Structure 1
Amino acid sequence: MLVFPNAKINLGLRITEKRADGFHNLQSCFYPVGWSDALEVIPADTFSFTSAGLPIPGDLDKNLCVKAYNLLKADYDLPPVQMHLHKIIPIGAGLGGGSADAAFALKLLNERFELGIDVTQLEDYARKLGSDCAFFIRNEPMYCLEKGDVFEKIAVDLSGYYVLLVYPNFAISTAEAYAAIKPRQPEIALREQLLAPIETWRTTIHNDFEDSLFPTYPLLAEIKQQLYDADAVYASMSGSGSTLYGIFNAPVIVPNQFKYYSVWQSKL
């Protein structure tokens, strides 16, 4: 079986407080986009995991797809499989690619071997793999709270708009992004701001990581401004970076300034 784990963007990201467990609470809206990896799982005599495409740092045996398989195998009689991941979504880009791979692995194994795990249970398994993973089980726009793994439905629909994602070909680690963050409670909840017309978002919807990362990486601020110069209705950094995105009313002619970067665009 072959599936295509997709990325997400953050519509706003507020870091509201540091938790006792060392993580942070946040407010954000996760919105799925079509930039995708490819993950194949087929029965095999022994378990194996291979990858192609973008190089994946670290030990492949510790890949989240492998962890997803082992997590289910601990509770179910899973046969050995061959897993192959073709990596396309940039790593360390704020797009949740690794989390999507893990969540789709859970869903694929559940379907392929008819394990009968419902959506809520799959989300619980996904939370054990990472804070963003559970979002990709339902894979629909969600207002996210706590570590980004508690969800509320939200009536945000960008159908008909176009999105342009710009990855400047360098990653930002989660640890680096959080090192300089200063949590604070917003005066107005992000949910309320997101329900206003998108034309208002430029002055109201904010990603808190921009405050700490733009001074260190001024190129990111330049790209955001270039997206607005190209007539984006709204532009922002996604997650903890380093991808910037713009939302447009019409298909985008990619500016020449972006020709050296990794760029993806589509209708939402």
Structure 2
Amino acid sequence: MTPGPARHFAPAKINLGLSVLGIRENGYHDLHSLMVPLTVGDDLDFAPADTLRLRVEGADLPTDERNLVYRAAQAYLGAAGVGEGVEITLHKRLPLASGLGGGSSDAATTLLALARLFPADVDLPALALGLGADVPFFLLGGAALAQGVGERLTPVRVPPTPLVLLNPGVEVSAGDAYRWLGGAGAFTPPLDVAALLGALERGEEVPYLNALQPEVVRRHPPIAQALAALERAGLHSPLMSGSGSTCFALARSDAQAEEAARTLAGRHPGWWVGAARTA
């Protein structure tokens, strides 16, 4: 019996450190990054239908093959040999092109939801990698050290950590961010993951880095303003996530994170602000 409509949560992620070790001959970059899912994200509704249909609420996004959710559904239905369709409603709550992995998470969540809706012997990780380098991470359901081009994932235990996200309303193309880094030749060494995790456990300033941050900030001054605003709100260890433009900083408690988020929302009414925890 085919199950009825269901809602699934698609978590955002942050990079608790992103090192770019170099660039390959094929143009892809070698990464060393600690990726962590969060308690904030998008929601997607799935219901059996006679064909594949996608609706988007909360953002002006395409609803055809240009949308990663649509392509993920196409890929799964084709691989599973499903003759039916599905109606998907994407409730977009995360800002676009913001370094939070929203599109990749939405795609991974679509694969997982359709695997429950239409069970079949399908290689989900292979489908995910075909959709994008970050998509396989969101199949794991936890933090992971990402290496290679992002496809080599090692689960890592990260202590639950409260934090605040702040997006100054700037969209940054990941392709541009990596191109700017390569042009500057500013590649970085591997992360010291042990030191990073130890600092998180002790609630200390975290010695992480984002190799993409300097060149992105140089071209988008509002991101520097967001990083400074997080510190002024009493948070620590501010960093840009991924290719930006969302920045985050860590809090000592959930209460501090909630209070800082309220303060920042009042000071910057045009910016997207959210309190969250690592999941």
TM-score (norm 2): 0.87
**Which one-letter code corresponds to 1:246 in the other structure?**
A
How much has 1:128 moved relative to structure 2?
0.7
Match of 1:263 among 266, 270, 273: 273
Equivalent residue, structure 1, for 2:168: 168
Match of 1:68 among 59, 68, 72: 72
2: CA distance between counterparts of 1:221 and 1:47? 42
- State which drifts further: 250-259 or 104-113: 250-259
Equivalent residue, structure 1, for 2:231: 228
Cα contact 1:18–1:183 (8 A) shared by 2? no
Unaligned runs of 5+ in 2: 1-5
Give the direction of change, closer, same or farther, for the CA distance of 1:201–1:28 in structure 2 (3 Å limit).
Answer: farther
Cα contact 2:168–2:245 (8 A) shared by 1? yes
Q: State how 1:108-127 maps to structure 2 within 5 Å.
A: 108-117=113-122, 121-127=123-129
Q: How many residues align?
A: 260
2: CA distance between counterparts of 1:246 and 1:140? 20
How much has 1:60 moved relative to structure 2?
2.8
Q: State how 1:12-23 maps to structure 2 within 5 Å.
A: 12-23=17-28
- State which drifts further: 99-108 or 165-174: 165-174
Q: Identity, % of aligned pairs?
A: 27
2: CA distance between counterparts of 1:262 and 1:185? 30
Q: State how 1:39-78 maps to structure 2 within 5 Å.
A: 39-56=44-61, 58=62, 60-78=64-82
Equivalent residue, structure 1, for 2:195: 193
How much has 1:200 moved relative to structure 2?
5.2
Q: Please give the secondary structure, in 2, of the residue aligned with 1:223.
A: helix
2: CA distance between counterparts of 1:213 and 1:237? 9
Unaligned runs of 5+ in 1: none
- Please provide the CA RMSD for this pair: 1.8
Alignment pair present for 1:241 and 2:244: yes
**Which one-letter code corresponds to 1:98 in the other structure?**
G
Q: Please give the secondary structure, in 1, of the residue aligned with 2:216.
A: helix
**CA offset digits 1:194-239 (Å, max 9, x no partner):** 233135544x311111110111122211221221222223211000
How much has 1:242 moved relative to structure 2?
0.2
**Which one-letter code corresponds to 2:267 in the other structure?**
Q
Cα contact 2:237–2:249 (8 A) shared by 1? yes
Cα contact 1:14–1:190 (8 A) shared by 2? no
How much has 1:267 moved relative to structure 2?
4.0
How much has 1:155 moved relative to structure 2?
3.1
Alignment pair present for 1:90 and 2:95: yes
Match of 2:132 among 110, 130, 133: 130
**CA offset digits 1:40-70 (Å, max 9, x no partner):** 12111222122111112x5633211111122
Equivalent residue, structure 1, for 2:3: none
